[in-house]
Amino acid sequence: MSHYFHAPTGPEDRRTIECRFWETDWRFTTANGVFSADALDLGTAVLLRTHTPRPDARRLLDLGCGYGPLAVALATACPGARVDAVDVNPRALALTRVNAAAHGVGDRVHALTPEEADPDARYDEIWSNPPIRIGKEALHALLTTWLGRLAEGGVARLVVGRNLGADSLQRWLVGEGWRCDRTASAKGFRVFAVTDHERFENRLD
């Protein structure tokens, strides 16, 4: 992931935002130099308003965590789970730690660079608003790496803007052997559930 990102420079200007999902009011600390610092981005809002994690999930991944709203929400909803929050932005990782601690889940949310993540970890659920604008080649490499870390029976929930190529991404995932079902559509975004069901079937052929 690090090949397309430059760490923010200059003074950090922290601020607080508020949002509501899962019938709960949330408050997060954000700052300049991180994605969607002034409000919960619309794609992530659609994902959170249309889906919840399985409460029995034990290991989850927030891929491209930003300041951590997904990671914090997942850890709160799954009290027995560890959540890995992965990003290449050191400021985002620091804010994720701040927000996890503020919501009482700091011991279970682990903010990591991609290189720090355990390559042998397998995830019951992966949640992501993936960085579409990095380009197809980099995006495909990113998804290939992390989707390969789904546990047996695991699911990845991806939210992608329709005008940013959601439908073509779905076709690519299916072509790569993944099952990719659209599970929600709102505000110009598609939400996909990606599983390894088709990949498993291909191994049997």
Chain segment 56-68, per-residue pLDDT in tens: 999 999 999 999 9
Six-digit token pair at 7? 């760490």
Bridge-based pairing state of the strands 82-86 and 109-112: parallel
10 Å Cβ neighbour count for 33?
A: 19
Provide the CB-side half-sphere exposure for 193 (13 A, CA). 14
pLDDT one-digit tens code per residue, 98-129: 999 999 999 999 999 999 999 999 999 999 99
For residue range 167-205, what is the model confidence (pLDDT) as tens digits?
999 999 999 999 999 999 999 999 999 998 655 454 434
40-204 CATH pick, 3.40.50.150, 3.40.50.10490, 3.90.1150.10, 3.30.465.10: 3.40.50.150
What's the CA gap between 16 and 11, in Å, rounded? 17
- Tell me how many helices (H) and strands (E) the chain has: 6, 9
Q: Domain spans of the chain?
A: 40-204
pLDDT at 6 exceeding the cut of 60:
yes
Q: Among 5-19, 94-108, 144-158, name the one with the lowest average pLDDT.
A: 5-19
pTM to 2 decimal places:
0.92
Task: Give the pLDDT confidence score for residue 8 in this predicted structure.
Answer: 84
How do beta strands 189-195 and 150-161 pair?
antiparallel
**Quick one: pLDDT at residue 197?**
60
Greater pLDDT, 6 or 201: 6
pLDDT of amino acid 1: 43
- Mean per-residue pLDDT over the chain, rounded: 93
- Report whether pLDDT(11) > 80: yes
**Residue 146 and residue 122 in contact, taking contact as beta carbons nearer than 8 Å:** no
Summarised one tens digit per residue, pLDDT across range 133-145 is 888 999 999 999 9
The predicted-structure confidence for 29-66, as pLDDT tens digits, reads as follows 999 999 999 999 999 999 999 999 999 999 999 999 99
Q: At what angle do helices 42-50 and 69-77 cross, to 10 degrees?
A: 10
pLDDT for the residue 200: 45
| Distance, CA of 30 to CA of 99 (rounded, Å) | 9
Using the predicted structure, report yes or no on whether residue 81 has a pLDDT greater than 80. Answer: yes
